[in-house]
Structure formats: C-alpha cells, structure tokens
Amino acid sequence: MKKYITLIGMLFALNSFAFIGNTNNGTTTDSIWDAANNIASPNATVFLASSNETVSSISAKVVGMTGKYKFAIYAGNNTTATTFLRGTSEITNPTNGWYSVPLTAPLSITNGQYYWLAAWGNAAPAAMYYTAGNTTVWKVLAYTTNWPSPFTQGGSFTANYCIYAFNTATNPPVTNTTGKVTLAWDPSPDSSVVGYKIYLGPVSAGYTNSVTLGNVTNATITGLVTGSTYYFAATAFDGSGLESDFSNETSYTVPLSTNQPSLNMPTVPTLLKVTKTTP
C-alpha cells in the first residue's frame, strides 16, 4: 500500500516584528537562584542585532514564584557581557509564563552588534525557560536596586533563554495569551486513508505534540503561544492505524497581536509530497 500526502503551502503575511532575542516558547527551565548559598544569580544570554532598532520593552518567560523579577540589556561581545545599558521595572509574584516589562527608557541597538539580555530574581525558585543553543553567562550576586556594571561573569553554559527586547510603539506587548493557525493539505489519493495527523513542536523536526483528525483537508490548531515559532508536519493513516512518513515541514510564528484573524489558507499546492510503501 502506498500513501501520499501533499501539504498545502501556508500563505500569510506576518506582522513586521523587529526584536532582538529569542521569542520561542521553551519548555525546559534553568535556575537563576543559587540554592546552595541562598542568593540570587543574575543570568544573561547573548544575541546579535540584525537591524538598527529602538527597543522599549523586554519580554521573558519565567517560572512562577513569590518574589520579584527584573530584566536588563548589556553591551558586550560574543563571549562576555560588559556594560549595563538599560533595565526594566519589576514584576511581582508572577505565575509561569511570558511577561512584558517596559525599559526605564527606550534604547537604540545597532545592526551587527552583540547585546546580552539579562534576568534577575530575588527568591527561590526563580528560573528562566530556554531553548537549545546560544551562550548564557551567570554570576552569584545578591538582588539589589542596581544592576552590576560590568557584569564580571562567574561562568557560562549553553542555553538560549526565552527573552527578547522589542518596540512597543510598533508591536503590542506579549501576554500569556494564545493564538491559532489554520493548515490545509491535498487529500491522499489512497482510498484506504481514513484520517490525518498534524505534528507540531518548537524546533525543526522536534515534534512534541500531535493532533489526530478525520478524513478532512484542513484543521485549525489552537493554543499556540504568541510570539513563538512552531514547526508542523503531517501524516496519513489507514483504518488499521498504519501511518505514512512525515510530510515536508512548514513553520509558523504566531503574531504578537492578540487580535489577529484566523488564517484560512488558500489551497495552493507546494508539492510537498511524501510516500511510504508497505506490504
């Protein structure tokens, strides 16, 4: 039996979203509290600016706790955070999730320059969500009013904190809201196909969830976190549960605006065909 899927291209126009940092919705966490010494541990992740922009807020995905978080932007190179540039106000007693906090004043960033986005919490279990890759530095330092400058890091490790700076004048702030996207695909020509599965995840080929569907050619995927990028692939299955290989992959970044319309995609094939031959 041979199964075919042709996934339809997703045609959409994303908001023009200028930012520096990591907007992906990480699912693992890293402590920014030194439990052994019962003291704060400010951490910062390096990012390379891809354009000349003015940023006015920082969004970060934090672990809920009874206490306070605040965030900052540092200058530096690709290995070291150096000079404090701008900080934010504090958030108090947050629950798990994304929070947007204004900078004390807008900050101009320069294309091609490295910047470090930092997080600081004043109580256990302060922690940040992160995704794979990138360099994060840390130092053990009691939580105070003023950020250290220079940072004089105590160590580094590989992590890409879910934190980014953006301009609230041109982009709305992130809240703990969700978005959705509508996918469409060509029907399989195999008459034994009884349904489809949509797989999705936060990294390419790293699918952490799936949605099982009937014999339909489109589906709306809900519960997507605004500002995050998702990767999708599809399979077909028959009545015995035999499933095809994955289709080619498509991705979607959920706009930060919370009032985006549902994206119903025109059925324009992109010839993303997969086949699986079984006895």
CATH code given to domain 2-16+175-277 = 2.60.40.10
21 conformational bin, left if phi > 0, alpha if psi -120 to 50, beta if neither:
left
The pLDDT, as a whole number, for residue 176 is: 44
CB 164, CB 118: distance < 8 Å: no
Kindly report whether the peptide bond that precedes residue 150 is cis, defined as omega within 30 degrees of 0: yes
The pLDDT, as a whole number, for residue 15 is: 35
Euclidean distance between CA atoms 21 and 245, whole angstroms? 34
Would the CATH topology of 2-16+175-277 be identical to that of 19-166? no
The pLDDT, as a whole number, for residue 273 is: 36
The pLDDT, as a whole number, for residue 3 is: 52
Question: Which residues touch 49 (CB under 8 Å, ≥6 apart)?
Answer: 20, 109, 110, 111, 112, 113, 114, 115
pTM for the complete prediction?
0.60
pLDDT in tens, 54-80: 999 898 999 999 999 999 999 999 999
User: For 103-128, b where at least 16 C-beta lie within 10 A, e where not — what string?
Assistant: beeebebeeeebbbbbbbbbebebbb
The pLDDT, as a whole number, for residue 6 is: 53
Euclidean distance between CA atoms 4 and 244, whole angstroms? 8
CB 129, CB 62: distance < 8 Å: yes
Euclidean distance between CA atoms 2 and 189, whole angstroms? 9
- Closest by CA to 43, choosing from 130, 166, 145, is 130
**Cβ atoms within 10 Å, residue 256:** 24
The pLDDT, as a whole number, for residue 116 is: 97
CB 71, CB 122: distance < 8 Å: no
Euclidean distance between CA atoms 31 and 40, whole angstroms? 10
The third-level CATH classification (topology) of the domain covering 19-166 is: Jelly Rolls (2.60.120)
What are the domain boundaries of the chain? 2-16+175-277, 19-166
Euclidean distance between CA atoms 237 and 258, whole angstroms? 34
- What residues of the chain score a pLDDT lower than 50? 1-2, 7-16, 172-176, 257-279
Euclidean distance between CA atoms 275 and 279, whole angstroms? 13
Radius of gyration of the chain from Cα atoms? 22
Express the helix, strand and coil content of the chain in percent, nearest 5 each. 0, 55, 45
The pLDDT, as a whole number, for residue 103 is: 93
**Cβ atoms within 10 Å, residue 217:** 14
The pLDDT, as a whole number, for residue 93 is: 93
Structure tokens at 248: 């080619």
Euclidean distance between CA atoms 80 and 150, whole angstroms? 10
